[in-house]
């Protein structure tokens, strides 16, 4: 393989950094201009710079789930429009059967030009809090993609700078909060425009064709680094299987949901690695079916983290060339039309990212982590806000534990795996929507026990204000399938959600689907803790003492889960050492 | 006043700058920094300076100080034993943060640092709603037990941050009153006093930073104030992150204001230089051994940013949700990159040449210092290319081992890359220059400013060596190197106005807002500022109150700053909305005219102006500046460069590139195609020879 940067290492480094900087700048522009809390506060969007073929050259510090699957979104535009692409054009689409991930993720794709030279594309994928369907937030348990909301195949929203007003009108009349959507779309346009301008400036400096070559060089560079890292690792093969809670469609007479299985075999030889999903269950009735690009996105995220554990290799499409992902058609990891998909986008990619660690543990146990929270823990709430008479849709994701590692504990309540969205500040949430958050705190004893403890999950409780009757919807995993431990570590605690209605009745909610939350209702969510790593007998008693001192672990759990004979003594010792 | 004195404590030296108000004479003195007891180094530098320039304590009108104590306590995690009190149900806000992780794919990343561990995070029963009404009254009966717990735990400072206290501070104020009575001697920081702004994590974090560093800053300032007062010097002022100075007692009340005290001084000095050399639009570039800092000065003024993250390995990029502690107080908008003379160059597994983030620091330092450094650094590469004197630095005070530097570059860089040592060194310089150019771009291009409209001002030990290359990269036509580059930041201290910033959250839209109520709110903030200026004895003619507003479209979360009229009425509201639409279009390429504009906060900066300071140093006359010549490498070509002694350059003396202008404190590199000229104020101005 050629070494394109050999003769001019400085320019290569400069152009590479500039391309990543462009993706970062897109992120800033969107955060500062977007309207909906899920974008401006929670950051549920991703930015990238792509070459003319749709391969990702540079990505922002965004969400791995998007980043692994966005090349397919840009390729869909390339396939649909070929050379029929001009300066000032903007394409929009969200169809998982045409390179999208799920309908709420709306891709805005803008080609970048320098004179007549087509440099490539910029793409901003943003999660819209509503794209229609029967359920506010578009997270209902339906059985066909037609029930999931507005489907946009790759279409031209701007034609050489001229807005297709008819298309815009169709889009805005199919979403619940059109003013907000218009503001968000405006910010996606602004961010991609900024990126296209920055690419043009780079082309001014280095030459348009030369820039296109550098874009290829940047991906080749990551490919070389990945292969070098893979070559250093032992060859081997690992198998892992895990079950999902269900698909949101009741399977049993009591209304409960049947679990289904995902099976994965990872083989590593030399500088190549293959991941095959043979044996995985057939696709399901509800929206837990993933397009292959979504399943692969989780695999890429897990493999990148394990193969390059100190995160030194620039992430882009070049990183994935050494990786081959295969799955039988018609399974939950490689869906066939017209099955619904909305939950699987994050729930299945979380799953495949975590499972990769389980499979790799068989032959590279020093570079894996125990299972993290394994769910995006989505709660949507929608209705009329009695304070101002406006329709609203709130979308939140709540974080759980980040898995324990071979050399250190997990992390409490932080985005893991394919996710990296932020929480919505309680004060921002309550000013925007008719809810009051009653608690948001770390859940004790939720991290799996082990030599290294799993990260704790969170507890978050919402009360609907009086008169604010809402329709809620959940999308979670790991309620019946707790996050696994590795190397003898215990699993984290599974998730639970209850709703208490004003009549005082409390019931547990299933992991997915819509529910009624009349004004005065209380929704109480506990997110999963992550798995522990290593046998609990190896845990340093002083670490148990500190966990007791900070209340991450309670005395009875110290005895039950860690076998501590005298937790009071450990606590006393920790307290003594903490005093000045 | 006759003399003004500024004291800047750096990692290696404590610099003192003096200015004689009557004559404009500038003096400097240096003493080694004494980390065990900073006051010792300060007193020794002060004594030296006062003796050298014959200054009596009674002649000193202003004493100002920049401190890194706050930053260091955070970076080294050596703050106070601080407790945090939150609304019941929200004990963990500081640890839950915003829940994003700083690196997407780092398997071994650590949990972000928390200033108060969970064992020192407490709850109190109470709740204010989003409409500012009391949902649950403050549980007075819980407070005594809480005080006993804090006492038993030997807590040294307390931060209180309750939900929605920015809308209704009653609960925080009452709790604060009880805690202050029950815990004498323990500083209590209330979020409604520190930062009355929305977003509970950011507000709690800012308040916790105050509690964490407050006791340390207080004892440090006490010691300094006592020592300087004992010498008969006037009350000491402290440089704030916002570029203004404030009384020491104010700093103790609001320690988060002093986080970027040191860098801020440099930017203020650059603004003074901008005025002096008639270049009101400047990009300032300050490069030392480990970091380089950039900031932007337009119309003679620097900008401040309301968002900042400090400590815990915080990324220089504020937009990456990092591992540091966010503080939401105005901080001079500066970008910092880990690139300096000590940055280490290396070749990665794929044959890519990288520079940093590792640094050889002051110890062992670059290979050429001969103090045990083995990894090639930026300084070693500058040496190999002939940009630095190959036998000694610091006017002969430091011996240089050229051969060792060359050997390290050859072995560690050139051989793996398959190129010769000089090409490798040149590539390293290109890369590090690019990293620093990025810092300059963050404060310019990213903010919608074209660097080609600015002059580059370079200072710090290494700034003038790299400045012209940066100017070339950014298409800038002029570089200036002000006098006294080594103690330049300390000069900012004696040229700083007294400044305090006040904020009031209002949440109104311009179509329905009550202009009279806003005028009243502005007036209240100005009254608070006036009280501070009264205490400082600032006469009315030197007072300024600057009003601005943070505005956005109602459903956005980030604001743009727009100016507010000094007498606020309905017309002012309408023009503020217009100004916002324009600013939005200018910044983001579009506006949403027709949508109401929301005013989130009103801000007032209360300023006590001090008489203008001229940073200048009369050039010598009649000396011969030429020291000799040596070979330098530019773009692969070996050229002979003239070597000049800066202090001997008379006014109007030019140096055609390639040339090198040396002084004790720094070296200026003038590449081919550029020309340097000494002006009448001691500034060296470098322009494209054809310009």
| CATH number for position B550 | 3.30.1490
Same domain, B581 and B674: no
Is pLDDT above 60 for B316?
no
Domain end (from B431, B454, B478): B431
Any domain includes A387: yes
CA distance B204 to B91: 11
Q: Residue B495 — pLDDT band, cuts 50, 70, 90?
A: confident
Is pLDDT above 90 for B336?
no
Q: What percent of chain B has pLDDT over 70?
A: 95
Q: What is the pLDDT of residue A5?
A: 47
Any domain includes B616: no
Q: What is the pLDDT of residue B398?
A: 74
- What residue in B sits closest to A63 (Cα-Cα)? B104
Any domain includes B615: no
Radius of gyration (C-alpha) of chain A in whole angstroms? 24
Same domain, B192 and B293: no
Mutation for B interface: A214, A302, A441, A458, most B CBs within 10 A: A441
Q: What is the pLDDT of residue B110?
A: 87
**Residues of chain B contacting A200 with CB distance shorter than 8 Å:** none
Same domain, A528 and A545: no
Peptide bond into B475 cis (omega under 30): no
Q: Does A285 touch chain B (CB under 8 A)?
A: no
Same domain, A547 and A476: no
Range of lowest pLDDT (A30-39, A269-278, B20-29): B20-29
Q: What is the pLDDT of residue A1?
A: 35
Same domain, A148 and A160: yes
B-contacting residues in A 157-186 (Cβ below 8 Å): 180, 183, 186
Give the CA distances from residue A502 to residues A221, A313, A464, A517, B508, in Å, rounded to whole numbers and listed in that order: 60, 53, 10, 9, 34
Classify strands B236-239 and B60-66 as parallel, antiparallel or unpaired. Answer: parallel
Q: Closest to A427 (Cβ–Cβ): which among B198, B349, B350?
A: B198
How many structural domains comprise chain B?
6
Q: H/E element holding B531?
A: helix B515-536
Write the DSSP string, A161-194: TEE-HHHHHHHHHTSS-HHHHHHHHHHHHHHHHH
Is pLDDT above 70 for B16?
yes
Q: Does B594 touch chain A (CB under 8 A)?
A: no
Domain end (from A521, A538, A555): A538
Domain end (from B211, B237, B253): B211
Same domain, A453 and A562: no
Same domain, A553 and A515: no
Q: What is the pLDDT of residue B690?
A: 53
Q: What is the pLDDT of residue A2?
A: 38
Whether residue A25 and residue B198 make contact (CB cut-off 8 A), yes or no, is: no
Same domain, B646 and B669: yes
Domain, as residue range, for B48: 3-73+218-261
Q: What is the pLDDT of residue A9?
A: 72
What is the CATH number for B34? Answer: 3.30.420.40
Same domain, B102 and B193: yes
Q: How do residues A132-161 score in pLDDT, each as one tens digit?
A: 999 999 999 999 999 999 999 999 999 999
Q: How distant is the Cα of B349 from the closest Cα of chain A, in angstroms?
A: 7
Any domain includes A345: no
Whether residue B163 and residue A6 make contact (CB cut-off 8 A), yes or no, is: no
Domain end (from B196, B211, B226): B211
Q: What is the pLDDT of residue A4?
A: 43
Domain, as residue range, for A29: 9-221
Among candidates A454, A455, A452, A456, which has minimal Cα distance to A539?
A452
**Residues of chain A contacting B96 with CB distance shorter than 8 Å:** 413, 423, 440-442, 458
Q: How do residues A96-131 score in pLDDT, each as one tens digit?
A: 998 899 999 999 999 999 999 999 999 999 999 999
A130 exposure class (CB count in 10 Å sphere: 0-12, 13-18, 19+): buried
Average pLDDT over residues B108-113: 86
**Residues of chain A contacting B596 with CB distance shorter than 8 Å:** none
Any domain includes A234: no
Any domain includes A341: no
Same domain, B196 and B165: yes
SS3 breakdown of chain A: % helix, strand, coil, rounded to 5?
35, 25, 45
Domain end (from A538, A554, A570): A538
Same domain, B222 and B206: no
Q: Does B152 touch chain A (CB under 8 A)?
A: no
Any domain includes A576: yes
Same domain, A401 and A515: yes
Any domain includes B508: yes
How many structural domains comprise chain A?
3
Domain end (from A221, A255, A282): A221
Q: What is the pLDDT of residue B363?
A: 67
Q: Does B54 touch chain A (CB under 8 A)?
A: no
Size of the A and B interface in Cβ pairs below 8 Å = 222
Write the DSSP string, B150-173: HHHTT-SEEEEE-TTTTT--HHHH
Is pLDDT above 70 for B448?
no
Any domain includes B538: yes
Same domain, B205 and B108: yes
Same domain, A465 and A553: no
Whether residue A416 and residue B91 make contact (CB cut-off 8 A), yes or no, is: no
Give the CA distances from residue B478 to residues A290, B143, B656, in Å, rounded to whole numbers and listed in that order: 57, 62, 14
Q: What is the pLDDT of residue B260?
A: 85
Any domain includes B620: no
Any domain includes B437: no
Which structure tokens are listed for A356?
A: 């990769």
Q: What is the pLDDT of residue B263?
A: 85
Give the CA distances from residue A413 to residues A353, A382, A493, B118, B691, in Å, rounded to whole numbers and listed in that order: 18, 26, 13, 14, 58
What is the CATH number for B138? Answer: 3.40.50
CA distance A336 to A162: 36
What is the pLDDT of chain B when averaged over all its residues?
A: 88
Which structure tokens are listed for A563?
A: 């076998």
Same domain, B390 and B276: no
Q: How do residues B402-417 score in pLDDT, each as one tens digit?
A: 999 999 999 999 999 9
Q: What is the pLDDT of residue B362?
A: 63
Kindly give, in sequence order, each residue whose CB lies less than 8 Å from that of residue B641, ignoring residues fewer than 6 positions away. B386, B629, B630, B631, B632, B657, B658, B659, B660
**Residues of chain B contacting A61 with CB distance shorter than 8 Å:** 104, 320
Q: How do residues A159-217 score in pLDDT, each as one tens digit?
A: 999 999 999 999 999 999 999 999 999 999 999 999 999 999 999 988 999 999 999 99
Same domain, A531 and A555: no
Q: How do residues A286-316 score in pLDDT, each as one tens digit?
A: 999 999 999 999 999 999 999 999 888 999 9
Task: Measure the CA dihedral A434/A439/A441/A444, to 10°.
Answer: -140
- What residue in A sits closest to B429 (Cα-Cα)? A10
Q: How do residues B253-262 score in pLDDT, each as one tens digit?
A: 999 989 888 8
Is pLDDT above 60 for B314?
no
Q: Does B512 touch chain A (CB under 8 A)?
A: no
Average pLDDT over residues A335-364: 97
Same domain, A521 and A553: no
Average pLDDT over residues B84-103: 94
CA distance B37 to A208: 58
- What residue in B sits closest to A30 (Cα-Cα)? B588
Q: What is the pLDDT of residue B615?
A: 84
**Residues of chain B contacting A416 with CB distance shorter than 8 Å:** 101
Any domain includes B38: yes
- Strand, coil or helix: A218: helix
CA distance B310 to B328: 11
Q: Say which residue the tokens 């403890």 belong to.
A: A453
Any domain includes A295: no
**Residues of chain A contacting B118 with CB distance shorter than 8 Å:** 442, 550-552
**Residues of chain B contacting A37 with CB distance shorter than 8 Å:** 557
Same domain, B310 and B457: yes
Q: What is the pLDDT of residue A478?
A: 98
Which position has the higher pLDDT, B317 or A425? Answer: A425
Q: H/E element holding B543?
A: strand B543-553
CA dihedral sign of residues A543, A545, A551, A555: positive
Same domain, B145 and B49: no
Range of lowest pLDDT (A454-463, B199-208, B282-291): B282-291
CA distance A77 to A80: 5
Q: Does B637 touch chain A (CB under 8 A)?
A: no
Is pLDDT above 60 for B26?
yes
Any domain includes A260: no
| Backbone φ and ψ of B39, nearest 5° | -60, -35
Q: Residue B305 — pLDDT band, cuts 50, 70, 90?
A: confident
Q: What is the pLDDT of residue A7?
A: 55
Q: What is the pLDDT of residue B310?
A: 77
Any domain includes A85: yes
Same domain, A529 and A567: no
Same domain, A426 and A551: no
Same domain, A18 and A103: yes
Same domain, B107 and B195: yes
Q: Does A305 touch chain B (CB under 8 A)?
A: yes
Distance of CA A197 to the CA centre of its chain: 28
E-state strands within B267-314:
282-287, 292-298, 301-302, 304-305, 308-310
A276 exposure class (CB count in 10 Å sphere: 0-12, 13-18, 19+): middle
Any domain includes B399: yes
Is pLDDT above 70 for B322?
no
Same domain, B581 and B643: no
Q: Residue B318 — pLDDT band, cuts 50, 70, 90?
A: very low
Q: Closest to A228 (Cβ–Cβ): which among B106, B350, B558?
A: B350
Q: Closest to B417 (Cβ–Cβ): which among A9, A194, A228?
A: A9
Helices (H) and strands (E) in chain A, counts: 12, 20
Q: What is the pLDDT of residue B21?
A: 75
Q: How distant is the Cα of A280 from the closest Cα of chain B, in angstroms?
A: 27
Are A171 and A165 in contact by the 8 Å Cβ rule? The answer is: no
């Amino acid at each position: 393989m050629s070494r394109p940067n050999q003769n001019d290492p400085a320019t290569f480094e400069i152009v590479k950094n500039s391309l990543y900087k462009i993706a970062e700048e897109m992120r800033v522009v969107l955060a500062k201009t977007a309207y909906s809390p899920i974008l401006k506060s929670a950051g549920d969007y991703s930015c990238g710079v792509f070459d003319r073929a749709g391969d990702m050259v540079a990505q922002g510090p965004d969400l791995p789930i998007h980043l692994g699957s966005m090349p397919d979104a840009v390729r869909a535009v390339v396939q649909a429009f070929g050379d029929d692409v001009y300066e000032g054009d903007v394409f929009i689409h969200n169809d998982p059967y045409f390179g999208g991930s799920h309908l709420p993720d709306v891709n805005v794709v803008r080609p970048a030009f320098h004179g007549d030279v087509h440099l490539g594309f910029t793409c901003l994928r943003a999660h819209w809090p509503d794209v229609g369907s029967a359920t506010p937030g578009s997270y209902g348990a339906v059985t066909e993609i037609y029930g999931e909301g507005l489907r946009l195949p790759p279409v031209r929203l701007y034609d050489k700078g001229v807005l297709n007003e008819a298309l815009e009108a169709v889009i805005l009349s199919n979403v619940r909060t059109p003013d907000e959507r218009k503001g968000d779309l405006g910010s996606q346009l602004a961010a991609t425009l900024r990126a296209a301008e920055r690419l043009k400036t780079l082309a001014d400096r280095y030459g348009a064709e030369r820039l296109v070559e550098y874009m290829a060089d940047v991906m080749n560079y990551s490919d070389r680094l990945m292969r070098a890292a893979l070559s250093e690792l032992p060859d081997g093969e690992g198998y892992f299987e895990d079950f999902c809670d269900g698909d949101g469609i009741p399977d049993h007479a009591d209304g409960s949901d049947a679990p289904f299985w995902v099976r994965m075999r990872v083989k590593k030889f030399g500088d190549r690695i293959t991941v095959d999903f043979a044996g995985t269950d057939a696709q399901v009735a509800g929206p837990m079916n993933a397009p292959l690009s979504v399943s692969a996105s989780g695999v890429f995220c897990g493999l990148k983290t394990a193969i390059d554990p100190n995160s030194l290799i620039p992430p882009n499409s070049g990183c994935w060339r050494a990786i081959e992902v295969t799955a039988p058609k018609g399974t939950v990891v490689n869906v066939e039309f017209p099955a619904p998909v909305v939950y699987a986008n994050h729930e299945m990619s979380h799953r495949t990212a975590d499972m990769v660690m389980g499979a790799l543990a068989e032959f590279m146990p020093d570079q894996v982590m125990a299972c993290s929270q394994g769910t995006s823990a989505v709660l949507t709430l929608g209705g009329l806000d009695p304070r101002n008479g406006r329709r609203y849709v709130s979308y939140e994701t709540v974080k759980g534990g980040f898995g324990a590692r071979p050399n250190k504990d997990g992390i409490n309540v932080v985005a893991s795996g394919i996710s990296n969205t932020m929480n919505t500040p309680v004060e921002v949430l309550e000013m925007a929507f008719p809810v009051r958050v009653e608690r948001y705190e770390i859940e004790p004893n939720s991290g799996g026990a082990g030599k290294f403890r799993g990260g704790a999950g969170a507890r978050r409780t919402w009360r609907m204000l009086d008169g604010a009757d809402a329709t809620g919807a959940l999308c979670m995993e790991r309620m019946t399938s707790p996050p696994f431990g590795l190397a003898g570590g215990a699993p984290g605690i599974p998730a639970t959600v209850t709703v208490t209605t004003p009549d005082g009745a409390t019931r547990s909610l299933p992991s997915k689907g819509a529910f009624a939350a009349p004004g005065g209702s209380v929704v109480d969510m506990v997110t999963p803790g992550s798995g522990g790593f290593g046998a609990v007998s190896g845990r340093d008693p002083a670490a148990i003492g500190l966990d007791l001192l900070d209340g991450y672990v309670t005395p009875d759990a110290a005895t039950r889960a860690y076998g501590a004979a005298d937790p009071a003594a450990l606590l006393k010792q920790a307290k003594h050492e903490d005093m000045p | 006043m006759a003399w003004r004195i500024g004291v800047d404590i750096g990692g290696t030296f404590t610099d003192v700058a003096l200015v004689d108000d009557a004559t404009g004479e500038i003096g400097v003195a240096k003493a080694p920094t004494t980390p065990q007891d900073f006051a010792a180094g300060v007193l020794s530098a002060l004594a030296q300076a006062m003796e050298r320039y014959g200054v009596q304590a009674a002649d000193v009108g202003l004493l100002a100080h920049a401190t890194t104590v706050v930053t260091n306590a955070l970076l080294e995690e050596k703050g106070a034993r601080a407790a945090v009190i939150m609304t019941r149900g929200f004990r963990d806000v500081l640890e839950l943060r915003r829940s994003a992780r700083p690196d997407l794919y780092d398997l071994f990343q650590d949990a972000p640092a928390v200033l108060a561990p969970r064992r020192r995070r407490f709850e109190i029963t109470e709740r204010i709603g989003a409409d500012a009404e009391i949902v649950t009254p403050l549980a007075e009966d819980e407070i005594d037990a809480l005080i006993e717990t804090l006492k038993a735990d030997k807590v040294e400072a307390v931060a209180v941050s309750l939900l929605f206290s920015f809308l209704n501070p009653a609960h925080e104020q009452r709790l604060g009153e009880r805690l202050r009575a029950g815990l004498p001697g323990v500083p209590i920081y209330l979020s409604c006093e520190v930062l009355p702004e929305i977003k509970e994590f950011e507000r709690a974090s800012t308040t916790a930073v105050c509690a964490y560093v407050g006791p340390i800053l207080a004892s440090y300032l006490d010691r300094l104030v006592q020592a300087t007062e004992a010498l008969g010097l006037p009350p000491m002022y402290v440089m704030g992150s916002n570029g203004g100075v404030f009384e020491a007692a104010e700093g103790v009340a609001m320690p988060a204001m002093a986080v970027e005290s040191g860098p801020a001084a440099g930017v203020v000095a650059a603004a003074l230089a901008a005025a002096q050399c008639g270049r009101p639009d400047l990009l300032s570039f300050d490069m030392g051994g480990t970091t380089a800092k950039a900031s932007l000065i337009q119309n003679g003024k620097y900008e401040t940013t309301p968002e900042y993250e400090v400590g815990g390995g915080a990324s220089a990029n504020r937009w990456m949700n990092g591992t540091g502690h966010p503080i939401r107080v105005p901080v001079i908008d500066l970008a910092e990159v880990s690139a300096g003379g000590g940055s280490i160059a290396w070749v990665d597994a794929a044959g890519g040449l990288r520079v940093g983030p590792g640094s050889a620091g002051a110890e062992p330092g670059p290979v050429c210092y001969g103090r045990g450094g083995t990894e090639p650094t930026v300084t070693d590469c500058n040496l190999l290319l002939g940009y630095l004197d190959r036998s000694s630095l610091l006017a002969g005070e430091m011996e240089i081992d050229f051969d060792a530097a060359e050997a390290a570059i050859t072995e560690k860089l050139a051989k793996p890359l398959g190129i010769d040592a000089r090409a490798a060194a040149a590539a390293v310089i290109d890369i590090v220059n690019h990293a620093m150019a990025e810092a300059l771009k963050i404060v310019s291009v990213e903010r919608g400013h074209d660097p080609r409209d600015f002059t580059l001002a370079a200072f710090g030990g290494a700034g003038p060596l790299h400045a012209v290359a940066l100017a070339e990269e950014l298409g800038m036509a002029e570089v200036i190197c002000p006098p006294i580059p080594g103690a330049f930041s300390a000069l900012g201290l004696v040229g700083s106005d007294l400044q305090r910033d006040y904020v009031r959250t209002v949440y109104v839209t311009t179509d329905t807002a009550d202009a009279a109520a806003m005028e009243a709110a502005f007036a209240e903030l100005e009254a608070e500022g006036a009280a501070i200026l009264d205490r400082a004895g600032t006469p009315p003619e030197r007072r300024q109150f600057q009003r601005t507003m943070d505005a956005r479209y109602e459903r956005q979360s980030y604001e743009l700053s727009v100016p507010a009229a000094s007498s606020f009425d309905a017309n002012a509201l309408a023009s503020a909305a217009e100004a916002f639409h324009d600013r939005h279009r200018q910044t983001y390429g579009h506006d949403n005219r027709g949508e109401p504009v929301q005013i989130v906060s009103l801000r007032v900066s209360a300023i006590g102006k001090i008489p203008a300071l001229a940073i200048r140093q009369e050039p010598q006359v009649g000396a011969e500046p030429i020291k000799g010549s040596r070979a330098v490498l530019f773009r692969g070509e070996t050229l002979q460069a003239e070597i000049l002694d800066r202090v001997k350059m008379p006014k109007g003396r030019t140096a055609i590139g390639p040339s090198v202008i040396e002084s004790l404190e720094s070296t200026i590199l003038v590449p081919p195609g550029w020309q340097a000229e000494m002006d009448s104020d001691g500034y060296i101005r470098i322009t494209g020879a054809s310009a």
